[in-house]
C-alpha cells in the first residue's frame, strides 16, 4: 500500500523542519563558538522529547533508511580526505596513536559495558567500537583556541582521519558477527573474511574503473551527479554480493582521493592535472551534501533521544571518563621522547565523536538488536558529554600548565635574588 496524502505531508514537513533546525543549529554554533554537534543534538532534544513536536514512531521507522545513507556519505568523504601516502610515510606516529588509542578505548569501555549491563561481549564491543574514535571538527575547535605545536595539530588531524575508517570497519565487522549468531566459529570467520575481502575488492576495483570513467567524461557537466549515482550503485552492488557497502564506499573514495599516487603507480594514461580539477569539484559538492546530511542526522539523533534513567546518565559519564583515560595513556605512550609531549594535555583529552560514531550508534535500532533503545540513549549521553569535555578539559589543563610554568618562573627569579 502507498502512503496516504496526510502521511506524505507529515513526511515532507518533518524533513523540512529537521533540515531547518540543522541549519539554525549550525549557524548558532558558529556565532557562539560551540561545536555544531552539541548545538544540533540539543535542538533535537528540545523539539523532540521535550516539546514533543515530532511523531516519534515515524522517526524510528525512518532510521533504517537514514542511518545507512548518512554512513555512505561520511564513508566516501573519509576516503576522499585520507592521503594514504602521507599517513604511511609522514605520520607513522599518528597511525600508531590512532590504532593504539582506538583498541585501548574499545577494550576498556567494552569491559565496562559488559559488566555494568551484564550483556554479551559482542554487544558491549559493538557500542564501544562506535565510540572509540575522534572527530576532526573537535580537533579543529580545540586547536583553534589553544597554542599547540604545528606538528601536534597535524598529528591530531591525521589521527581523526585514520579513526573514521577504523571505527567504520571494526564496528561493522562486529555487527556482522552478531548477525551471523547461530553459526560455528569457523563458519563465522570464513563469512566475515569473505565479507571484508568482497567489500575491499569491489570498492578498490570500482574506484579504479570510476577514475577512468571520470576522466573519459572530464569535459562533461554534472560529473558529481554522475559520481553520486556511482556511490549508491557501489553500495547496493556490494550489499547484494554479500559485502558491507559502507566499507566498499570508503575504499571507493580512497581510490578517487589518492588518484595521483594510483595513476603514477599503475602508469594509467590519465592526466593528473585534469583529474585534480574534477576531484576539487567533487569534494566541493560532496562536502555541501555531507554537511546537509550530517546536520540533519545530528538533529535527528536528538529528536529520537529517550531518557532511560539516571543510571544511563552516570554510565555515560563513566564511559566518557574511561575514554579520556585510555586516550591519555595512548597519547602518553605515543609521544614518548617526542617534542609533542609538551602538548600531552591537549592530545590526551580530545575524545569528541562525530557523525560516524552517531550513525554507528543507531545500528542496533536499524537491525532491531536487543537493548537498541538503551544503547541509542546511552550513545547520545556519551557523545554529548565527550564533545563538551573534549573542549573544556584541554583548555583547563593548558591553563593550569601555564600557571604552573609561571609559578616556576617566579620561584626561579626569587631564588636568584
Q: What is the pLDDT of residues 373-406, one digit of tens each?
A: 888 888 888 888 888 887 777 777 767 766 776 6
Query: Residue 115: how many CB atoms within 10 A of its CB?
Result: 10
Evaluate whether 323 touches 105 at the Cβ level (below 8 Å): yes
* 177 closest CA partner among 244, 103, 247: 244
What is residue 105's predicted lDDT score, i.e. its pLDDT? 92
What is residue 1's predicted lDDT score, i.e. its pLDDT? 47
What is residue 415's predicted lDDT score, i.e. its pLDDT? 57
What is the CA angle 317-394-145, rounded to 5? 130
Domains of the chain, residue spans: 63-416
Cα 46 from Cα 8, distance rounded (Å): 24
Q: Judging by beta carbons within 10 Å of its beta carbon (0-12, 13-18, 19+), is residue 49 exposed, middle or buried?
A: middle
Evaluate whether 35 touches 352 at the Cβ level (below 8 Å): yes
Cα 358 from Cα 133, distance rounded (Å): 11
Record the pTM: 0.80
What is residue 205's predicted lDDT score, i.e. its pLDDT? 94
Residue 91 DSSP symbol? -
What is residue 33's predicted lDDT score, i.e. its pLDDT? 62
Which regions in the chain score pLDDT beneath 70?
A: 1-7, 32-35, 86-91, 137, 141, 144-147, 182, 220-222, 398, 401-402, 405-417
* CATH dotted code for 63-416: 1.20.1530.20
What is residue 398's predicted lDDT score, i.e. its pLDDT? 67
Amino acid at each position: 500500500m502507498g502512503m496516504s496524502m496526510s502521511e506524505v505531508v507529515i513526511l515532507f514537513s518533518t524533513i523540512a523542519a529537521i533540515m531547518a533546525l540543522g541549519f539554525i543549529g549550525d549557524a548558532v554554533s558558529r556565532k557562539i563558538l560551540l561545536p555544531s554537534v552539541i548545538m544540533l543534538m540539543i535542538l533535537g532534544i528540545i523539539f523532540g522529547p521535550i516539546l514533543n513536536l515530532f511523531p516519534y514512531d515515524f522517526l524510528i521507522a525512518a532510521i533504517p533508511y537514514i542511518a545507512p545513507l548518512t554512513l555512505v556519505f561520511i564513508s566516501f568523504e573519509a576516503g576522499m580526505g585520507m592521503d594514504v601516502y602521507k599517513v604511511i610515510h609522514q605520520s607513522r606516529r599518528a597511525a600508531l596513536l590512532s590504532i593504539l588509542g582506538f583498541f585501548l578505548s574499545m577494550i576498556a569501555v567494552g569491559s565496562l559495558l559488559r559488566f555494568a549491563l551484564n550483556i554479551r561481549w559482542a554487544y558491549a564491543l559493538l557500542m564501544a567500537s562506535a565510540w572509540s574514535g575522534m572527530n576532526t571538527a573537535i580537533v579543529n575547535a580545540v586547536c583553534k583556541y589553544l597554542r599547540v605545536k604545528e606538528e601536534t595539530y597535524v598529528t591530531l588531524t591525521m589521527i581523526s582521519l585514520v579513526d573514521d575508517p577504523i571505527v567504520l570497519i571494526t564496528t561493522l565487522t562486529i555487527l556482522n558477527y552478531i548477525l551471523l549468531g547461530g553459526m560455528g566459529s569457523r563458519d563465522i570467520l570464513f563469512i566475515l573474511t569473505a565479507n571484508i575481502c568482497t567489500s575491499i575488492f569491489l570498492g578498490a576495483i570500482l574506484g579504479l574503473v570510476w577514475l577512468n570513467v571520470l576522466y573519459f567524461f572530464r569535459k562533461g557537466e554534472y560529473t558529481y551527479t554522475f559520481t553520486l549515482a556511482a556511490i549508491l550503485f557501489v553500495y547496493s552492488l556490494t550489499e547484494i554480493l554479500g559485502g558491507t557497502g559502507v566499507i566498499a564506499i570508503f575504499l571507493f573514495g580512497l581510490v578517487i582521493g589518492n588518484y595521483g599516487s594510483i595513476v603514477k603507480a599503475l602508469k594509467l594514461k590519465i592526466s593528473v592535472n585534469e583529474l585534480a580539477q574534477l576531484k576539487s569539484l567533487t569534494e566541493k559538492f560532496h562536502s555541501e551534501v555531507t554537511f546537509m546530511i550530517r546536520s540533519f542526522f545530528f538533529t535527528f539523533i536528538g529528536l529520537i533521544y529517550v531518557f532511560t534513567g539516571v543510571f544511563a546518565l552516570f554510565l555515560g559519564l563513566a564511559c566518557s571518563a574511561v575514554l579520556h583515560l585510555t586516550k591519555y595513556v595512548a597519547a602518553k605512550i605515543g609521544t614518548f621522547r617526542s617534542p609533542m609531549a609538551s602538548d600531552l594535555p591537549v592530545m590526551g583529552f580530545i575524545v569528541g565523536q562525530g557523525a560516524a560514531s552517531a550513525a554507528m550508534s543507531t545500528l542496533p535500532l536499524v537491525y532491531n538488536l536487543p537493548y537498541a533503545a538503551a544503547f541509542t540513549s546511552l550513545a547520545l549521553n556519551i557523545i554529548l558529554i565527550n564533545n563538551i569535555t573534549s573542549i573544556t578539559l584541554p583548555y583547563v589543563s593548558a591553563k593550569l600548565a601555564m600557571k604552573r610554568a609561571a609559578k616556576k618562573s617566579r620561584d626561579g627569579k626569587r631564588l636568584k635574588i
